[in-house]
Amino acid sequence: MWHTENPIRHPLPEARWPTQEEAARSLLFSPVQIGRVTLESRTWVPAMVPWRATEVGFVTPNILEWYGRFAEGRPGAIVVEATGIRDIASGPLLRIGHDRFIPGLRQLVETVRRRSQGYTRLFIQIIDFLAVKRRPPKEKYFERFLRLTDSHRRALAETTGDARWMKAAESDLRAFLTDAPDELLDRVMDERELESLRYGYRERVTDTDLPHIKELPAVLPGIFADAAVRAREAGFDGVELHYAHAYTMASFLSAKNDRSDGYGGARSKRVRLPLEVYRTVRERVGDDYVVGVRFLGDEVIEGGSHLEDAVYFGVEFARTGFDYLSVSKGGKFDDAKQPKVGQAVYPYTGQSGYECMPTVLSDERGPFGRNVPLAAAIKRAVNQAGFNPPVVTSGGIGTFDMAESILRRGEADIVAAARQSLADPDWFLKIRLGRGEEIRRCVFTNYCEGLDSMHKQVTCKLWDRVQLDEPEITMSDDGRRRLVPPRWSDA
Ligand SMILES: Cc1cc2nc3c(=O)[nH]c(=O)nc-3n(C[C@H](O)[C@H](O)[C@H](O)COP(=O)(O)O)c2cc1C
Ligand code: SF4
């Protein structure tokens, strides 16, 4: 994973855990209203992909166990992982692109209700993403993928000083390029071709020469809305539209979106499709259903959107009626590390990925609560504009005091914790019971994220090799790791 030059290794912040009485009086464990739904506390497990669905996107017993285990800690809300809205294969990621997915999702809702004793509200994050292909072997790229044009021939003739390339057989050109050094390829191929060769082919929302990309504004509102209706039918308390990180809707919001069809360029145009999607979803699910959004406070990429854009988007989202705003940061393809041949580029491997899930190897600011200022600025602007949807913040939050002081300072209305909840899904309950000393604290070194980036079942290094002799535990596909932490009482 990326980290800054000469990083500082930050120690975990001192944790002082409250008594049961103090916890009961805290803001963190006070209710908050989201649309028509009341959360019993301001604690939140944000979306986290665990790589546990079937190859075709159905809920599995391991998915039920994963969410059931989080539910036992009784957070105010859990957001189910990014779930694909199209009816296309996407590996072991959940899908909601057809009615056949509803029964499994309904089981998931029932599991969370039961295991949280009805305490935890359940939302589902719904996502659209564009094609990202694996990095091809060089031979395959030149043999099959590169579309040879006259401009390649010209550049090659100029670079080599050999005019015969203008008329040479295609097979000779392809063979020559396969063996050519990088410097020559840099001069002969354009930026997108080089990217496809070195990182794998990746579509962008600005590829409007492709009909299916051009038509996104016509197509997406309907498929998001269909997915939201299915979520409602399955019993979820609401949907979270995924407008963050590296995916389609975030790319429409991005300052890099220069589409010329009214859906790119100025901020007001970049936000147009995200608002149209919202309105269509709202029309179909009704006014009494929670529709929230996750979006970026900063893309953290060159030429990308920054906080001023996010403040504008936040106000527009609130004005249009979103029930909550969940603020994330970074997580883009643009600065991701080059994948190995045969692997796909992953959006959490560069600096923007670091900013999404900051680790203890950091600059002076450190990872703890690092992204709160973004949520705070968005909340301030949204409130000043006269709107009050709860704002959710996340990023390196793993102590009661930190969460409570964010709320007391009015920087956010709800505190989300992904990795701390993965390290110890019971942590909210332990705090409520005045047993904070028993919390297994996340060390923020991103072993879990490493598994995610390799598309392996996500676990936490603090518990995935302990008590492996426990009867009836489920192990990971590689047979080495348990898939959920030991029960608290057994731990
Ligand atoms: C394994 C893993 C998977 C994640 N998957 C998603 C996802 O599906 N959707 C999303 O919006 N964020 C996802 N995130 C980001 C988290 O929701 C969260 O924003 C990030 O981890 C920072 O919060 P934390 O410091 O509390 O972990 C994921 C994070 C991890 C560690
Ligand atoms: S593996 Fe566990 S301890 Fe490490 S960052 Fe992830 S949740 Fe935290």
Mean pLDDT per block of 10 residues along the chain (491 residues) reads 88 96 98 98 98 96 98 98 93 95 98 97 98 96 95 95 94 96 96 96 97 98 98 98 98 98 98 98 98 98 97 98 98 95 94 96 94 98 98 98 98 98 98 97 97 95 95 92 88 48
Residues 244-272: tens digit of each pLDDT:
999 999 999 999 999 999 999 999 999 99
Q: Is any ligand 2 atom within 6 A of the Cβ of residue 432?
A: no
**479: CB partners within 8 A, 6+ apart:** none
Between the CA of 356 and the centroid of ligand 1 the distance, in Å, is: 8
Of all protein residues, the one whose alpha carbon is nearest to atom 12 of ligand 1 is 47
Q: Is 446 in the pocket of ligand 2 (CB under 6 A)?
A: yes
pLDDT digits (tens, 9 = 90+) for 328-376: 999 999 999 999 999 999 999 999 999 999 999 999 999 999 999 999 9
- The reported pLDDT for the residue numbered 472 is 87
User: For residue 434, how far is its CA from the centre of ligand 1 (angstroms)?
Assistant: 27
State residue 90's pLDDT score: 81
Show the tokens assigned to 98. 């057809």
The residue whose C-alpha atom lies closest to atom 6 belonging to ligand 1 is 48
Q: Do 291 and 124 touch, CB atoms closer than 8 A?
A: no
Q: Does ligand 1 have an atom closer than 6 angstroms to the CB of 374?
A: no
Determine if ligand 2 sits within 6 Å of the CB of residue 168: no
pLDDT digits (tens, 9 = 90+) for 386-421: 999 999 999 999 999 999 999 999 999 999 999 999
Ligand 2 centroid from CA 399, angstroms: 15
Separation of CA 306 and ligand 1 centre (Å) = 20
Sorted by sequence, the CB contacts under 8 Å of residue 236 that are 6+ apart come out as 80, 105, 109, 122, 123, 124
What domains can you pick out in the chain, each with its CATH number?
8-130+215-453 (3.20.20.70), 138-198 (no CATH)
Residue 279, φ and ψ in degrees, nearest 5: -65, -40
The reported pTM is: 0.97
**Which atom in ligand 1 lies closest to the alpha carbon of residue 242?**
11
Residue bearing the CA closest to ligand 2, atom 8:
442
Which residue has its alpha carbon closest to ligand 2 atom 6? 448
Residues 6+ apart with CB under 8 A from 424: 73, 430, 439, 440, 441, 442, 462, 485
- pLDDT score for 490: 45
Residue nearest to atom 3 of ligand 1 (CA): 48
Pocket test for ligand 2, best of 462, 465, 476 (most atoms within 8 A of CB): 462
Q: Report the separation in Å between the CA atom of 413 and the middle of ligand 2, taken as the mean of its atom positions.
A: 25
Closest C-alpha residue for ligand 2 atom 2? 460
Model confidence pLDDT, tens digit, residues 321-341 = 999 999 999 999 999 999 999
Question: Residue 359 C-alpha to ligand 2 middle, in angstroms?
Answer: 10
Ligand 1 pocket, mutate which of 357, 368, 451, 460 (most atoms under 8 A from CB): 357
Residue whose CA is closest, atom 23 of ligand 1? 395
Report the C-alpha gap between 239 and 217 in whole angstroms: 20
